[in-house]
Chains A and B, each alone.
Chain A
Amino acid sequence: MLITASLFSDLTIVKMTEREERRFAEVPRESIKLMAESSGVELSEEVAALLAEDVCYRLREATQNSSQFMRHAKRRKLSVEDLNRALRWSNTETICGYGAQDALPFRPLKEGELFFVEDREINLVELALATNIPKGCAETMVRVHVSYLDGKGNLEPQGTVPTAVQSLSEDLLKYYQQITRAILGEDPHLMKVALLDLQSNSKIAALLPYFVYVISGVKSVSHDLDQLNRLLHMVKSLVQNPYLYLGSYVRSLVSSVMYCILEPLAASINPLNDHWTLRDYAALLLSHIFWTHGDLVSGLYHQILLSLQKVLSDPVRPLCSHYGAVVGLHALGWKAVERVLYPHLPAYWANLQAVLDDYSVSNAQVKADGHKVYGAILVAVERLLKMKALSLTLAAEGSGAGLPGTTTGAVGFRENSPGLSPPPEPLSEPPLGIASHLQAGGAGCPWEEWTPVSLPAMYCELYSFFGDSLAVRFSTGPPLGGATPPGPCQPLEGRKEPASSAPNLENTRKMPQLTASMNISPRRDGSPRMEPQPPSLAATVPGRSLARSSSSSSSSSVSRSRSSSSRPGRSTSQSRDIFPKARFPLPQAGPPAFSFIIGGRQMGRRCQGRRFQTSFTPTPPLTTHPPRAYAHKLPVIGRVSKPVRRWTCSHYSLHLPL
């Protein structure tokens, strides 16, 4: 056994031969003889052979024993230490000097068949005097991470860690600091670069919670429109980044954006601050988040609607909040407007009216705000009407194509107005609502839970508020029914639903004509393109629709709840003498201001229109548009033939009418 030990330590070893059938190494007798000679012993051939064999056996035994130590140390690699332990337990001298963890290179000698372990000489003096003292080993420590959540986690074979709980690397931290500094800093160019990177960087998933946290800081910078803007841009970049999975952070982002839309920001005290643009932008952003990521959080749509509704129905809130609610609803699509804004309108109108009709100087600021709200509502309801008409047309088309199922109508509807219906959610209206309502209404069945008001009824009601200002916008739009050939309707004439939808179609096509009576301030040389229609037509159409709605309301008791809520508003309109008929004097032709009277007609109602007076002076972006250009812009407003899917769609330009 001593020999075995020295075999290892002397390094003069050892020609290892491998005999095929035995499958383990053997020490040849020559080596044994060499070893013996080196220690001054002469060995005979037989003794050497016996010794060689015994040495082999002992080596194997030691190796086998040492493998047990390896197994219990839970390693795959047999170490010198394991062998030493085995030797120690069999009362044999251990081998010293080979405890290094690194692999020892085993080299052949060129001259002979000799192999040895490379062992460089170390200059101890140099080592002792060296100045670069090697660092000690890092402390042994335990780190925990969630590897798999609920047995799922990621299914990648390499088992990476979910990002949410990953600790930040140095680089990510640096990136985070740079980005936030750039975005919130002064340099607009830097900000642009940062935002662009945020939009396209695929490796920032781990930072998402931190960014979301930064964004939630909107509440602390409500005095600084600039910062708010920057934060909103940050939201936009995050939302647009295709590599980010926002998950439940959507909720947090939405609440930050909603804050910008709805809250009476500290910055809005100063009328010079253009917080309106901020709200518009935030509303756009909201709709974008909603359309792209709304499916991540269930019930989000309903929640947003609820909070907007709450703001809208709260008269104590300042007008800028109301404005936010309206643009928010508008941004969420015409259905949201129909469901929230439209039923609230009568109640809200009274308050707004009061503001608008107060001409005291102290009220000037509030009144200006009131006009903003008025304009926003106007734009919203216009689109509502337009889209509703369009959807009716399309639905009629779908059913007119001769396909029996309502689904085809729904499909047609969805295809033709992408992005207009909210993603299917339990609380939102099913996309086939309109088509089905047409048919169900025709069959005389009660409409299901939320009953949309028929277009003519809606129009009448809205007209009662806005008068011709509503009408004029319609007139300028492209002919909506243009895409609707009248042909398909005809085969269905015998049935009831086409009969009821036919007037609708007629309405939609005629309504623009209805509203053409408009007085524009004298300075406007452009005359309305449409000829004013005889009032008789205006009288007939609502009349028809009224008749129809009365017939339908007799069949539907559900719709009454809604209409009853709007009725008090209407009844107050009687006392609401404030609705000005043309009793205002013609406005002075001051350069920055222009005014026009909208001669609204209300069948059976006293208010017949109202005159509008708007001052443009304070808002810089608008002053760039001369009134004339503005007038030419009018037709474009509300155009729906443009792709709606693009979220920065041009028809959505709230500041234009005011």
Chain B
Amino acid sequence: MASVLRFRKLCYVESAVKCTSVGYESFEIDEKLDEKEEDVLSANNFALEINKKRKQPKRQPKEWRCLDSCCWIIGYLCTTWWLLLFFYHCLPVTLLRVPELPGPGVRLKREGLTALHPVVLVPGIVTGGLELWEGRPCADGLFRKRLWGGGSFTQIFKRPLCLLEHLSLHYETGLDPQGIRVRAVPGLVGADYFAPGYFVWAVLIENLAKIGYEGKNLHMAAYDWRLSFQNTEIRDHALTRLKSKIELMYISNGYKKVVAVPHSMGVIYFLHFLKWVETPPPMGGGGGPGWCAKHIKAVMNIGPAFLGVPKAVSNLFSAEGKDVSYIRAMAPGVFDSEILGLQTFERVMRMARTWDSIVSLLPKGGEVIWGNMDRSPEEGHVCDFSKKSHSKTSLTTNNVNNSDVKRGFLVKDLANYGRIISFGKPASVLHSSKLPTADSKEFLRTSTSENFNNFSCGEAWTEYDEMSRQSIQNVAADKAYTTTTLLDLLRFVAPKMMRRAEAHFSHGIAENLDDPKYNHYKYWSNPLETKLSDAPDMEIYCMYGVGIPTERSYVYKLSPNSRCKSIPYQIDNSVHGEDGSCLKGGVYFADGDESVPVLSAGFMCAKGWRGRTRFNPSGIATYIREYRHKPPTSLMEGRGIESGSHVDIMGNFALIEDIMRVAAGATGDEIGGDQIHSDIIKMSERINLGL
């Protein structure tokens, strides 16, 4: 009886997929499984099979009406499906289990590693779950249900507009809109899986558990990733809670320091936390200047976005990324179709622009770091990604020759990564002297011009609606923007958002870190405008994947669609470079982990904090651990145990092993010091930053 119950339930879940798909798939599965399973089953199915074959020629309109055949076929499918399911559930559990790859946890346990230091996980943007605590009538019945992450996103499909409304924040304050409370899901469940089967932290947690970690020495610092960092403290006391949790774990685990493992945006969140906790109370946590030294052993940053990501630019500017622009190129009109009245992008942009946290990911450090019109640290980077991964077997000499030849060829067509946004391909390749210069004063002048089309579009959704046609044209006429002018551009196209967000984040480089203005919290999450705390025994790791093309700069065009409430710019996906060039579909690629370029992830550990610098006055040891991306070799591996991409790297066995060793007490030197595959050292040297 029990198994039947069980089996009914599973039917409920899986038949959605199963029964909607065309029947033939299940026939195939039948046959496959029949071979394996008991004779009874095969005999049974065989009978069915024969029946089917016998009946098929007779399935003519005169004997079988369509409705009947329909019913028949569905009944047939369901029956076999249920039978199979039933047998599946009757089988002993161990028989059907896919032989799992023994994770590093098992191996390290055999080596004798045990849980030593408590571990704090800090999730990044987007991966954390959000749940509803109070909502509008349209969200009835969703109380304490996940709106974001974790469960399935079925609600998004059922009532998309309602969901968008609830996930948005207040445009002026960046906090909750009136009558809506959406909060982060606390605990490990907050970010272990993003969607069913799509792990984020789950693999790491499981492996840590193998050597003895559990609830008391493993903590997920869930926070509302939509808010600016200081606002998580103001609204939810998230930073205070994290402080209290770390102190508790430190004490209750026999005064062992904590190993923090932030991921993606969590990295700068944790950076913010480290400053916050040592700052005196009104603004900070009042932990005193020795707090970090006392409580934290190591910060193991995974895929750190220290200096921001260019992806955030395109997201804020036109709510699209590489993937979106591909889809648009392949199926033009899906997103922009007016018949459905979806206006997906506009709505998404409207929501995303209320999230302060995205602004924290804008590139930091301006032209010094990201390069200006004519030079960039990645200069000379060769985009033969495809070559590298496909021809592993080819001789190294051959490879070198090959790329040398290519380099010679490519020099003329090198990407000007420094121009993060350029309008039209010419603007991205021409020498800077031939381009009109972008000038922020010009923006000021145009912004005063009349907004004549404002009233015709009704309610303004995004701030683009408040811009005049003329100023939109002007923006495009400026042709190319570097990181510094980009900020001016954003301030121009979305003044309110930037005003709100820039109260919380800063993107510059500090001249003099002793300037008292740097005590303000808006500088805490920018590694170029804060000092690390005085904790000489602490260790900082930068762990990230390399070997995947990563968005670095964009070629834009004016959107052909000029109706109301549309986004006036989009990535020009028709622009492709020559074979081997880094330009594809309007996007220039550099090395990285698919989201964060190497430069952003590695620079601080490679140069900015290496040794005793002004950003790292106490000389905290830094280590770079790069993991070369290898796609999964077989389907069994799922998302790959050697993946280097931004989220999948959390399942990378080498990375997990490193974390476990450090958590079990190893130092950076013991796990092998730096491990570098990319040109990060060379790139860092090109950056001229006073240290």
A is bound by B: no
